[in-house]
């Protein structure tokens, strides 16, 4: 879809982003040294720190990805909300306090503190790099999704812009995402989402939603007979070429206008209107047979998303309460959208977006999305993907390199606990809102069928341009903050852990910073490339992968270090390596990577499901125990001798 | 100076009573187990009995929505319980 930008939206956006960046620079500049940075944190109030937890944790993925997934598929997106929050239980009850007793809050330092092993330093640093990069990808993809409807730029321009701005920030100023900036972002994001939720409830659900400018959403034709479509002499069925044979589609050419409409044949023989976009090898793009554009003689994909049958056949509900909203949605039939791809011999590709009338009772239970549809199958093996993801989300939070560091910023354990509770409250409240936001977007009449990541900003746009600009700006600055933090963590792993500690290169502070800056540029450029490469994937799904890798590589080592006295340094190194390689390899060989990254038939994928955690986390534990027992025996023998 | 680079900054350790540490650790594990059971129940029902999740259970809302919201609420409630009981333990030791 081509998105038009408005001057007022762009002005508000730039003003807001500028203000937050200015504040970041100002506060960042106050932290002259690492010591200043960490010790200054000791004065932060636990309540502020708790909201800052939310600012840190609620990345672009939480806002864009979950809302998009719920808007496109229903309840399955909410499973991520549940899993992300549950992860805090592991962090609070199992990991945080023992780590604080060790006096450390990063994965690498906790391990290093006990063993001082070069092997651990190297593997922990590589693990930090890999997790940071995988966490960076969805942030970059999300940035592109934000810039596209707001500024009217193509997706890749958004990705490149964010990448370059962040590299500039990190390299020139060494910006630290301070607690106060995260506090402001966290409060604004949660506050704005609460406001939008109230607006969704006040608006209710309609079978013909209209946008902020008063235009009604297009209602697509359903249950049409072929004879009715070809009544006019100018309209004729296009005989199916080889690529279209045995496909449930009928193409109708309008000889008068040259447009081609594609209709999907349903089981009962009636036809449903679709939207199609054909991309030729020379780059030409046709939407429904006409050149893509907004001018005369051109056509663009139409925004979608509306209820087609409300309870009691009413055309609209009027304002709804927080519970009656869900009750109504459960009894409402909504037009969701599926997609299909047809490749011709000449290399041209037609993407077809077709209507999927879906009852609320279906999309508000698990298994309604392509990702998790297999939970409704009767085969046990089909359910592993879902179980594996829920395990990864549960175990991943406490394994993310940048999350536990925030415990530094409060003075004592009581404050740390209090701020965690505030964090869980803010994050939990936000995740409750995601279900309202997603379902509100689903019926807003504003969705872009080509990109689920844009659902939340477009929902805001359905109310008014100012809200759209502000929410986009908040989300965009969240991306900037998260990306800066991740690039800093990754470059720190290179300069501090690999160059200084592993390679034992004696660098002074100046050289160390220079190495880190070069590493930051490399990681930033890599993130830009990956952000463009993964642009079609739901950002939430990508974050799920980052959680899988983090949980597989880091959690077994962390838990066993804290709770099993026989853990050895060799066991730790082996567990990190095994967890990281197995989860990363699994992801790269999964059906989802085949389909969305390489463009290969997903049926050819080597591994049976896309989420590796259910295999790679236990593997990490087993490897750690076996290697620790083997190496401990060696040590004992030596001592005895 | 890139402040975020140096994770080796000395951190002041708190003076802790061993009994308080043990009490808090046990409490943490207990509450963790409670939540794991609750979470496993959700995963099990979603994976093996997804049809049950569409059953209306509370105020007309289906089990999937109610259970999902309860899991989010339970995380907060358990965190509050943890905070309160940890505090009591600490005060007790001071006495």
> What would the pLDDT profile of B74-90 be if each residue is shown by its tens digit?
999 999 999 888 865 44
B80, B88 contact by CB (below 8 A): no
Q: Which residues of A11-23 are buried (b: 16+ CB within 10 A; e: fewer)?
A: ebbeebbeebbee
The angle formed by the CA atoms of residues A121, A122 and A123, to the nearest 5 degrees, is 95
Q: What is the dihedral of CA A143, A146, A150, A156, to 10 degrees?
A: 50
The angle formed by the CA atoms of residues A487, A42 and A511, to the nearest 5 degrees, is 40
CA atoms of B73 and B58, how far apart (whole Å): 15
State how far residue B75 is from chain A, nearest Cα, in angstroms. Answer: 7
At residue A331, the pLDDT reads: 92
Which carries the bigger pLDDT value, residue A470 or residue B69? Answer: B69
8 Å CB contact of B68 and A82: yes
Nearest by CB to residue B72, choosing from A37, A90, A431, is A431
Q: What is the mean pLDDT of residues B33-57?
A: 91
Q: What is the dihedral of CA A629, A634, A635, A637, to 10 degrees?
A: 120
Measured between beta carbons, which residues in chain B are less than 8 angstroms from residue A517?
2
Q: How far is CA A405 from the centre of its chain?
A: 22
Nearest by CB to residue A488, choosing from B2, B11, B72, is B2
Nearest by CB to residue A86, choosing from B4, B5, B71, is B71
| Domains of chain A: residue spans and CATH | 43-204+385-635 (1.20.1730.10), 226-382 (no CATH)
At residue A409, the pLDDT reads: 58
Domain boundaries, chain B: 19-94
At residue A515, the pLDDT reads: 80
User: Tokens at residue A541, please?
Assistant: 């799904």
Strand, coil or helix: A271? strand
State how far residue B28 is from chain A, nearest Cα, in angstroms. Answer: 4
Nearest CA in chain A to B89: A414
> Which residues in chain A land under pLDDT 70?
5, 24, 27-44, 61, 100, 103-107, 170-180, 402, 404-412, 509, 633-641
Nearest CA in chain B to A106: B7
Distances (CA, A) of A519 to A167, A492, A494, A502: 10, 8, 7, 16
At residue A408, the pLDDT reads: 59
At residue A639, the pLDDT reads: 42
By the CB < 8 Å criterion, does A222 face chain B? no
Beta bridge partner(s), residue A358: A334
Nearest by CB to residue A376, choosing from B31, B50, B61, is B50
A57, A481 contact by CB (below 8 A): no
CA atoms of A617 and A583, how far apart (whole Å): 8
pLDDT reading at B13 higher than 60: no
By the CB < 8 Å criterion, does A285 face chain B? no
At residue B93, the pLDDT reads: 42
Nearest CA in chain A to B74: A86
8 Å CB contact of B3 and A495: no
CA atoms of A511 and A460, how far apart (whole Å): 47
8 Å CB contact of A327 and B61: yes
Written as one string, the DSSP assignment of A354-389 is EEEEEEHHHHTSTT-STTTGGGGSS-GGGGHHHHHH
A–B interface: beta-carbon pairs under 8 A? 188
At residue B95, the pLDDT reads: 34
8 Å CB contact of A93 and B35: yes
A372, A75 contact by CB (below 8 A): no
Measured between beta carbons, which residues in chain A are less than 8 angstroms from residue B54?
361-362, 364-365
CA atoms of A145 and A143, how far apart (whole Å): 5
**Residues of chain B with pLDDT > 90: what percent?**
38
Q: How far is CA A300 from the centre of its chain?
A: 27
Measured between beta carbons, which residues in chain B are less than 8 angstroms from residue A383?
47-48
CA atoms of A435 and A325, how far apart (whole Å): 11
CA atoms of A158 and A161, how far apart (whole Å): 5
8 Å CB contact of A85 and B43: no
Rounded to 10 deg, the angle between the A155-168 and A509-533 helix axes is 170
A129, A520 contact by CB (below 8 A): no
Distances (CA, A) of A366 to A79, A216, A362, A436, B61: 8, 31, 8, 17, 14
Strand, coil or helix: A5? coil
At residue A173, the pLDDT reads: 53
At residue A293, the pLDDT reads: 84
CA atoms of A175 and A521, how far apart (whole Å): 14
8 Å CB contact of A361 and B54: yes
Residue whose C-alpha is closest to residue A326's, from A194, A432, A429, A436: A436
């Amino acid at each position: 879809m081509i998105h038009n930008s408005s001057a007022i939206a762009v002005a508000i956006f730039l003003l807001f982003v500028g203000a937050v960046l200015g504040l970041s620079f100002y506060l960042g500049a106050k932290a002259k040294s690492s010591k200043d940075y960490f010790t200054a944190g000791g004065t932060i109030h636990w309540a502020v720190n708790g909201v800052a937890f939310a600012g840190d944790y609620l990345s672009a993925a939480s806002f864009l990805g979950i809302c998009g997934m719920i808007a496109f598929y229903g309840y399955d997106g909410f499973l991520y909300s549940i899993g992300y929050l549950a992860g805090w239980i592991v962090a609070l009850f199992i990991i945080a306090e023992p780590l604080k007793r060790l006096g450390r809050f990063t994965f690498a330092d906790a391990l290093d503190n006990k063993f001082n092993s070069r092997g651990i330093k190297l593997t922990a640093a590589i693990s930090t790099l890999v997790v940071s990069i995988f966490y960076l990808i969805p942030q970059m993809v999300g940035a592109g999704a934000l810039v596209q409807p707001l500024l009217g730029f193509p997706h890749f321009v958004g990705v490149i812009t964010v990448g370059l701005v962040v590299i500039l920030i990190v390299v020139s100023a060494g910006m630290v995402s301070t607690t106060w900036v995260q506090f402001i972002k966290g409060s604004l994001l949660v506050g704005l989402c609460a406001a939008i939720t109230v607006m969704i409830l006040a608006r209710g659900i309609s079978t013909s939603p209209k946008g902020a400018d008063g235009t009604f959403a297009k209602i697509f034709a359903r249950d049409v007979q072929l004879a009715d479509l070809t009544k006019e002499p100018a309209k004729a069925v296009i005989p199916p070429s080889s690529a279209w044979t045995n496909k449930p589609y009928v193409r109708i050419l309008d000889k008068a206008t040259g447009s081609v409409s594609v209709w999907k044949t349903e089981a009962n023989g009636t036809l449903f209107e679709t939207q199609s976009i054909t991309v030729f090898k020379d780059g030409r793009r046709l939407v429904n047979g006409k050149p893509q554009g907004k001018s005369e003689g051109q056509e663009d994909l139409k925004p979608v998303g509306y209820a087609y049958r409300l309870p009691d056949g009413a055309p609209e509900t009027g304002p709804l309460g927080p519970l009656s909203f869900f009750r109504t949605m459960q009894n409402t039939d909504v037009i969701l959208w599926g997609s299909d791809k047809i490749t011709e011999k000449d290399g041209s590709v037609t993407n077809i977006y077709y209507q999927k009338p879906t009852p609320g009772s279906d999309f508000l239970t698990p298994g309604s999305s392509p990702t998790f549809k297999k939970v409704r199958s009767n085969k046990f093996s089909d359910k592993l993907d879902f179980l594996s993801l829920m395990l990864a989300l549960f175990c991943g939070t406490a394994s993310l390199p940048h999350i536990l560091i925030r415990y530094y910023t409060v003075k004592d354990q009581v404050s740390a606990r209090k701020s965690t509770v505030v964090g869980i409250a803010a994050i939990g409240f936000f995740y409750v809102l995601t279900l309202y936001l997603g379902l509100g977007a689903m019926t807003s009449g504003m969705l872009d069928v080509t990109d689920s990541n844009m659902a939340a900003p477009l929902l805001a746009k359905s109310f008014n341009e100012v809200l759209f600009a502000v929410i986009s700006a908040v989300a965009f600055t969240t991306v900037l903050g998260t990306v800066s933090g991740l690039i800093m963590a990754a470059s720190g792993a290179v300069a501090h852990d690999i160059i200084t500690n592993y390679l034992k290169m004696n660098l002074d502070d100046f050289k160390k910073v220079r190495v880190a800056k070069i590493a930051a540029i490399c990681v930033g450029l890599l993130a830009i490339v990956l952000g463009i490469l993964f642009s079609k994937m739901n950002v939430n799904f990508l974050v799920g992968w980052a959680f899988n890798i983090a949980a597989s590589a880091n959690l077994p080592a962390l838990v066993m270090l804290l709770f099993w006295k026989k853990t050895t340094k060799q066991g730790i190194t082996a567990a990190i390596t095994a967890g990281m390689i197995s989860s990363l390899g699994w992801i790269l060989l999964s059906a989802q990577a085949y389909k969305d990254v390489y463009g290969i038939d997903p049926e050819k994928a080597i591994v049976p499901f896309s989420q590796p955690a259910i295999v790679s986390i236990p593997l990490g534990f087993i490897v750690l125990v076996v290697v620790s027992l083997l190496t401990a025996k060696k040590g004992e023998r030596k001592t005895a001798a | 100076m890139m402040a975020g680079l140096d994770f080796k900054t000395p951190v002041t350790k708190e003076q802790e009573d061993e009994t308080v540490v043990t009490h808090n650790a046990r409490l943490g594990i207990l509450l963790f187990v409670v939540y794991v059971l609750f979470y496993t129940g959700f995963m099990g029902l979603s994976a093996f009995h997804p049809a049950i999740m569409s059953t209306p259970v509370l105020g007309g809302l289906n089990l999937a929505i109610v259970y999902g919201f309860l899991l989010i609420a339970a995380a907060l409630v358990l965190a509050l319980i943890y905070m309160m009981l940890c505090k009591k333990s600490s005060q007790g030791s001071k006495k």
